[in-house]
Amino acid sequence: MTSSNENTYVYAGAESCGLYRLAPGSSQWQELTHGLPDDPVVPGVALHPNNPEVVFAGTQDGPYRSTDRGEHWERLDYPRGGAPVWSFLFRPGDPTVMYLGTAPGEIYRSVNSGDSWQKLSATMGSNECAMAFPTRVIALAADPSYPDEMYAALEVAGVIRSSDGGDTWDEITGSLAPSQDTLDLHGVQCSAASPHTVFITTRQGPFIGPDRGREWIPVEFGQFSPITYTRDLRVAPHDPNLLYVTIGAAARSAQGALYRSRDLFRTFERVDRGISASATMMAVGVDPRAPGHVFCAARDGQVFGSLDNGDTWTTYQLPEKAKEIRGLAVG
């Protein structure tokens, strides 16, 4: 794999506000605006798995797409006044099929590479907690070995599952209820190294859901970190046994870190050596074409990047108005 970042672009989306791009070799963020809404709220960013020039942005005005790495944007066929978009998923093995999650919580599917979107029958279930914000479909995942098996992480309402590619959905929150701490989902992933298993991150730490989430086994993350509020979760694109987890002391805190597990949540190690996050670490991204290129983002506008698998890091400060960093895509 290449060790330079000659081909790695980084995209950071802020809830308040804007979408920003870091070009290879640059230390300066470029604000992307051409075709996007004014002052865009961008909690979700995703790159096409086969073509990193194609970028999707989830905004307060629905999904947008760029085919030139963010230089120009078009709004996709999605209901006017539809719910703001927070998360994206490409179907494993067939990226022409896409899904998105919203807040308030809804799930949509596209069968034409994002050109148009249809709302699915998913409901947020019986465990919704009344919060200062509407329930969010904060993350979506599908089992790479069984792509019809899908999971939606709900903030704050637990987990729902589809066994038929999104046509129908069931509650599988189980023992995560009734505690708000464990109903507060932040990440969900499936790995080819462990079929029919779902991994989640919550306010109270990570859990493993064997047998398609039949039960939830808590992970003793406190053995590895003094703070256990877990946020984003990503399976490494080159190693299905490796998962990255971002953490903080709370939803809003003055500390954050990046951890990884090389053995499917059995053990964890801290990755972000020598950096100092001033806020909860909210997102992580890995370049699938150069998996040693790892980036993570803290809530208040810091992005940290490593081009050597976490051995050394560089800090890239976003513009002052970019706060509430949620979206991060690398490729």
In terms of residues, how long is the chain? 331
Q: Can you tell me the distance from the alpha carbon of 49 to that of 68, in angstroms, rounded to the nearest whole number?
A: 15
Of the pLDDT bands very low, low, confident and very high (cuts 50, 70, 90), residue 2 is very low
Average pLDDT over residues 275-282: 96
Q: What angle do CA 216, 269, 192 make, to 5 degrees?
A: 50
Q: What is the pLDDT of residues 133-180, one digit of tens each?
A: 999 999 999 999 999 999 999 999 999 999 999 999 999 999 999 999
pLDDT at residue 3 greater than cutoff 60: no
Q: What is the pLDDT of residues 79-128, one digit of tens each?
A: 999 999 999 999 999 999 999 999 999 999 999 999 999 999 999 989 99
Residue extents of the structural domains in the chain = 219-286+298-314
Average pLDDT over residues 39-61: 98
> 3-class DSSP state for residue 175?
helix
Model pLDDT, residue 273? 87
Write b or e for each residue in 263-298: b if 16 or more Cβ atoms lie within 10 A of its Cβ, otherwise e.
Answer: ebbeebeebbeebebebbbbbbbbbbebbbbbbbbb
Contact 163, 190 (CB under 8 A): no
Of the pLDDT bands very low, low, confident and very high (cuts 50, 70, 90), residue 51 is very high
Residue 84 DSSP class: P
pLDDT at residue 4 greater than cutoff 50: no
Closest CA to 201 of 238, 263, 151, 239: 151
Model pLDDT, residue 95? 98
Residue 221 DSSP class: G
Model pLDDT, residue 1? 34
Contact 260, 286 (CB under 8 A): no
> Which residues are CB-contacts of 271 (< 8 A; sequence separation ≥ 6)?
244, 258, 259, 260, 294, 306, 310
Q: What is the pLDDT of residues 291-312, one digit of tens each?
A: 999 999 999 999 999 999 999 9
Q: Can you tell me the distance from the alpha carbon of 73 to that of 51, in angstroms, rounded to the nearest whole number?
A: 16
Q: Can you tell me the distance from the alpha carbon of 298 to that of 185, in angstroms, rounded to the nearest whole number?
A: 18
Model pLDDT, residue 223? 97
Model pLDDT, residue 56? 99
pLDDT at residue 268 greater than cutoff 50: yes
**pTM for the whole structure:** 0.97
pLDDT at residue 5 greater than cutoff 60: no
Model pLDDT, residue 6? 67
Mean pLDDT, the chain, rounded, equals 96
